[in-house]
Amino acid sequence: MKKVQDHYFHKARKDGYVARSAYKLEEIDQRHQLLKRGQKVLDLGCAPGSWLQYTAKRIGESGRLLGIDLQAVAISLPPQVEVFQTDIYELDRSGAWWENSFDIILSDMAPQTTGIRAVDADRSYALNQHALWLAEQHLIKGGYLLVKAFQGAPFQRLQQEFQQMFAEVKICKPKSSRSESVEVFLLGKKKQESQVKEEGHLLQS
């Protein structure tokens, strides 16, 4: 295990986070000032829960945080946090949550990896297409979307789609990401007017 991994692993245990990934979000948040008290936030791919822990602290008791993941989140969370164990492709559109609008959508989702870089990049792209569609439906105008993406052939296309929806687009590689990892984070800032025609397909300009 590399020293950087040891450092963040032990730091997470000391700080009470269930996973070291909390520091990826913390670094991006500190650099771009994403999270504020009282915000409504949607966290996609929220298990095991470190992003929920960090975000809950930042938005405070007056905020609201909704997490979604296929896996259960087995940690204690404050009252402003609600977690649904479900597939993002099978969300209950009749539920009360569907009418909500969010200030920020976070996604640390990653596909089941195969070790074949092109395949994994395509699968990551498909997940992020759905995150973009959810942002079109549920992100307020001026809101932010942060997703994890794998570097590869579809990444440039994903950037272009972000540029259609957001006034600013940033690529983030936190220091706590493993140096050998192909993951980066794509941040869309200040959502603009609607650009999505149907689920998973952006209008071409």
Tell me the CATH number at 73.
3.40.50.150
Average pLDDT, the chain: 88
Q: Which of 120, 193, 197 is nearest to 154 (CA)?
A: 120
* Per-residue pLDDT reduced to its tens digit, 53-98: 999 999 999 999 999 999 999 999 999 999 999 998 888 765 666 6
* Per-residue pLDDT reduced to its tens digit, 153-163: 799 999 999 99
Number of domains in the chain: 1
pLDDT at position 5 over 70 = no
What DSSP string runs through 43-91? EES-TT-HHHHHHHHHH-TTSEEEEEESS---S---TTEEEEES-GGG-
In 3-state terms, what secondary structure has residue 164? helix
To 5 degrees, how large is the angle CA 131–CA 133–CA 137? 115
Give Rg (Cα) of the chain: 16
Q: Which residues are catalytic?
A: 148
3-12, 29-38, 54-63, 110-119: which range is least confident on average? 3-12
Q: Are 141 and 101 in contact (CB under 8 A)?
A: no
The range of the structural domain enclosing residue 140 comes to 3-202
pLDDT at position 201 over 70 = no
User: Is this structure's pTM higher than 0.85?
Assistant: yes
